[in-house]
Amino acid sequence: MLRALGRAGDRADGGIVPSGSSNVPSGSAAGYDPCVDDETAVYLNTPAVQAALHVDTGATINRAWSDCSNTLQYSRQDLLTSMLPVYHKLLAQDGPDALHIYVFSGDVDGIVPVTGTRMWLDRLGLNASSSGNKAWKSWTTAVGQVGGYTTEYVTPTATNFTFVTVRNAGHMVPAAQPSRALEMFQAFLARTVPQ
């Protein structure tokens, strides 16, 4: 995600921004880089990046980053367990512990579509804010394009909860729409919503 945000750009047609990699084989879909995992591994294993991330390179165990690891063994028994109780616990945070939560979806995501995300958001039992234009409002990118839509929800605490869609993005939002992902991330850090 960091690399995708670092090369943030946008095309007028809303398409994918090419990575500029020379590793893209001829005949590949425009902008699709099948070697992005390899490039990420190279990037995350550079000494400067590991120093910035405070990786203990002097440790006796291997600290080399890879996209696959057997270090963590995930249980398949809870694969379909609902995350709703976790969100209810997060939404209960109040006062100085109040959180700023963004749930976001690319609007052409075939893995976790917007409709599926909205369905489980409805199961949280929250109401969309009716103050101002906070219920299903479009947001505009810095270049004047519709970036997607936002819905701010009313929570029982001081926790902010916002759903954001990103136009023309699939499951990997920063890879498909890096400039829109960056604008969304900057708004999140500013504890606001994309405008």
pLDDT tens track for 111-136: 999 999 999 999 999 988 876 657 78
Which is nearest to 9 in space by CA: 181, 136, 169?
181
Looking at residue 187, its pLDDT comes to 95
pLDDT tens-digit profile, the chain (195 residues): 444 444 444 443 444 444 444 444 444 445 556 667 778 888 888 989 888 888 877 766 666 777 777 777 777 787 788 899 999 999 999 988 899 999 999 999 999 999 999 999 999 999 888 766 577 899 999 999 999 999 999 898 988 899 999 999 999 899 899 999 999 999 999 998 898
Looking at residue 33, its pLDDT comes to 66
pTM of the model: 0.70
Looking at residue 17, its pLDDT comes to 43
Looking at residue 38, its pLDDT comes to 79
38 close to 45: Cβ distance less than 8 angstroms: no
b/e burial code for range 130-155 (CB count within 10 A of at least 16 → b): eeeebbebebebeeebebbbbbbbeb
Looking at residue 132, its pLDDT comes to 62
Rg (CA), the chain: 19
Looking at residue 121, its pLDDT comes to 93
CATH 3.40.50.11320 fits 82-195, yes or no: yes
Looking at residue 32, its pLDDT comes to 56
Looking at residue 34, its pLDDT comes to 62
Helix or strand run (H / E) with residue 52:
helix 47-52
Q: What ranges do the domains of the chain cover?
A: 1-9+33-71, 82-195
